[in-house]
Chains A and B, each alone.
Chain A
Amino acid sequence: MSLRFHWMMPKGGEVGMKTAQETSRVATTQAHSPAALPDMDGWLRFARAAEEAGIESVLLSFSRYEPDTIFVACAMGQVTTKLGFIVAYRLGLMQPATFVQQINTLSGLIGGRVSLNVVAGSSAVEQRGYGDYLDHDERYARAEEFLTVCHAFWSGNGDVSFSGKYCHVDKGKIFTPFLAPDRSEPEIYVSGHSEQAQHLALTQASCYLRLIDTPEKLAPIVGRFRENGVEVCLRLCVICRPTMDEALAATQALMPPEEIEKQERKILSSSDSQTLKEALRAADDVGWMNRNLYAGLVPYYGSSAITLVGTPADLARAFMEYKDIGVTQFIIAGWPKLDEMVIFGREVLPLVRELEEKISPAASQRRSAEF
């Protein structure tokens, strides 16, 4: 199977921004951030570029600071034909039957180009604003029930009845099916680093989504998921330049002023998410996790800013190392989002496909048949 590459959808207003500092996540959480509003013009530009770059899907992030992801996917799906949408959604915000009805409707409106990134909820404060008062572990226990109910609807074996600790459904029916050319339910990405997140991914997901780490550290984890039939997708950033010196200079240029670091640290350290804590620790401890993997941007740009830095050949080789240990998908971001994606599509992806072809020509032929 060929590696699958997805990209983070920029926040509202980001596509038009020139510098990485402008697009740092801290800015989006402030009042009057352009990220609060949908940005159809910018997103459409980005989506066209993504389709051209060979990106399969974009991940739409969910928070109280941004428009609702399900509807962004719906509107964007009306103006694109190929790009897929990985809709991030938190649990605890609606009944599972309602969620299934919305996702199924969305699938019918955009030719099935939707998958889900289920997040149990990373901020207790933010969850309480949605009326959700469960703690970290309970949120995962609920997520387990929630997804069980969703799967029961998608399996289409008649009425759904479920009586758990958090979810109750009595003879539930949702008539609108999940509509896609090749599947009867969406792919489900479960993210998080905690034991509970991994357990949830193993039992309920089609793919485990986590932050990138070194191949050596990831190998046993990835192996466990693949043995259980669950794919693994890594979240990372890339900085790709013709030479390593240029790539390092580009990395250095991303360091923003002191103040942003302090705010970002506050967000990271106040979260009860294990993922965020681990990412911060990686940045504090080492910076460079190996020759090309840099955690030094995490204090400035958040936990998902662990970055592959290097030349096109470096990056292609790195992606193949992850493929060797069983990783199948990546969700990438860069600064600025559009430019880095164009570079990736032009310089890195063709090299990856070449290397894949060398290793396994048959697999790559299967891929061309699919597209």
Chain B
Amino acid sequence: MSLKFHWMLPKGGEVALDGQQSPREAARYRIESMQSTSPAVRPDLTGWTHFARHAEDAGIDSTLISFSRYEPDPFLVACALGQAVQKLKFIIAYRSGLMQPTTFVQQMNTVSALVQGRVSFNIVAGSSSEEQRGYGDYLSHDERYARAEEFLAVCNAFWRANGEVNFDGKYYRVEQAKLATPFVAPDKRAPEIFVSGHSEQSEHLASSQGTIWLRVAESPSKLEPIVARTRARGTGVCLRCCLLCRPTREEALSAAQTLLPVDAKESTTTMKDDSQMYREGNELGRDAFWPEPWLWTGLVPHYGPVWTTMIGTPDELASAFLEYKRIGVTEFIISGWPEVDTVDVFGSEILPRINQA
């Protein structure tokens, strides 16, 4: 089976339609999108459609639409963008604890029918306690996973159901539930479910209720046993990483330098207090910035683990992706600086090399 490649949807206002944006400008925009004054708080169909067309041309399967209180609701973004482009699929990031599972399924099924089934989701148990409390969710990290387990169990019951759904758990209780609108797709009756996180609970949840475990890229040797274990349970493995590709390694490294913060104020990682993925990210970054010659974690201490970066020439990066394929990784969710330029380079320089191998 060939590798699948997904891409992060840029933030609202991030796509520079004139293409004149440096990697640092793109990176800073994304970091500063968590301020109420950022244009990223508004939907940006023009910029997103521009990006989506480039992603389709590059051979990208889906775009991941992130969820936070700082940005528009990803369900709605997928629905609107799905009317504007016809091929690209959408991975909607959502948290449990924000709505009833029955409502979630009704929304997911409705969106599937409106975008011809081009939708899956990434369930996040919730990475910031403070942010969760702002949504009325007061559970601790471990309880959030227990609840997510129930949440997905109810969702899956709807998607498997041939009749009414009944569930009586600790966090959710539904009785004689029915939804008339089915999940509508040419090839499946339920969406793929990405479960992200590094904790034991997330690994368990990915296999018990999900279809794909999503985690941050690490060195293949470290991931190999974990990936094998997950694949043996029938669960796919998707890695989240950033990509920095230049014709020469020197050019790539000097572009990477510009992404580092110029002072401590530019770091953002203290916010996600309650996530193991973020704790590990901090430690990893300080220990060793180069787990592989092509894998750089130098941005992780400043911006978080999802800034783990695959870096190098097209040849180096193509062989790195193939190395992940060898150990059983099935897909990737990538981002770059700027997104549009990087997705173009990926489509023209890297993906053809992977497909030829």
Where the two chains meet, the residues of A that have a C-beta atom closer than 8 Å to any C-beta of B are 29, 31, 33, 35-38, 40, 64-68, 70-72, 74-75, 77-79, 92-98, 101-102, 104-106, 108-109, 125, 128-133, 159-160, 167-177, 179
Contact = CB atoms under 8 A, between A and B. Distances in A.
Contact of B110 (A68, A93, A109, A174): A68
A23 to B, nearest CB: 16
Contacts of B45: 109
Contact of B130 (A31, A128, A171): A171
Contact of A71 (B38, B79, B101, B134): B79
Given A109-B43, A129-B175, A169 B134 contact: yes
Given A68-B107, A133-B173, A175 B70 contact: yes
> Chain B contact residues: over half helix, strand or loop, or mixed?
mixed
B177 interface: yes
B103 A37 contact: no
A131 B71 contact: no
Nearest to B33: A175
A297 B197 CA distance: 56
B5 to A, nearest CB: 27
Interface stretch (B135-143, B208-216, B309-317, B343-351): B135-143
A167 B136 CA distance: 7
Interface residues of B, number: 53
Contact of A95 (B41, B77, B135, B176): B135
Given A95-B136, A175-B36, A175-B69, A74 B175 contact: no
B113 A105 contact: no
A231 to B, nearest CB: 27
Contact of A175 (B71, B101, B184): B71
A37 B184 contact: yes
> Chain A contact residues: over half helix, strand or loop, or mixed?
mixed
Contact of B83 (A36, A79, A108, A179): A79
B76 A40 contact: no
Nearest to A107: B43
The 9 A-B residue pairs whose C-beta atoms are closest, nearest first, are A129-B177, A94-B99, A36-B180, A172-B134, A170-B133, A105-B72, A68-B110, A67-B110, A105-B73
Given A67-B114, A92-B100, A105-B72, 13 more contacts: A38-B114, A64-B178, A67-B110, A67-B181, A74-B80, A95-B97, A97-B98, A98-B135, A101-B72, A109-B72, A172-B69, A172-B134, A176-B43
B199 interface: no
Given A36-B182, A78-B80, A94 B103 contact: yes
A105 B76 contact: yes
A297 B42 CA distance: 46
A173 to B, nearest CB: 5
Nearest to B137: A95
Contacts of B130: 171
A174 B178 CA distance: 31
A170 B134 contact: yes
B76 A64 contact: no
A74 B79 CA distance: 7
Contact of B181 (A40, A66, A78, A133): A66
Nearest to A95: B136
B75 interface: yes
B76 A130 contact: no
Interface in B30-65: 36, 38, 41-43, 45
Nearest to A30: B180
B76 A66 contact: no
B102 A67 contact: no
B114 A131 contact: no
Nearest to A125: B176
Contact of B134 (A97, A104, A125): A97
B136 A93 contact: no
Given A64-B180, A172-B134, A130 B113 contact: no
A71 B69 contact: no
B114 A70 contact: no
Contacts of B207: none
B241 interface: no
Contact of B136 (A65, A96, A130, A132): A96
A31 to B, nearest CB: 8
Contacts of A65: 180
Contacts of B173: 131, 133
B181 to A, nearest CB: 5
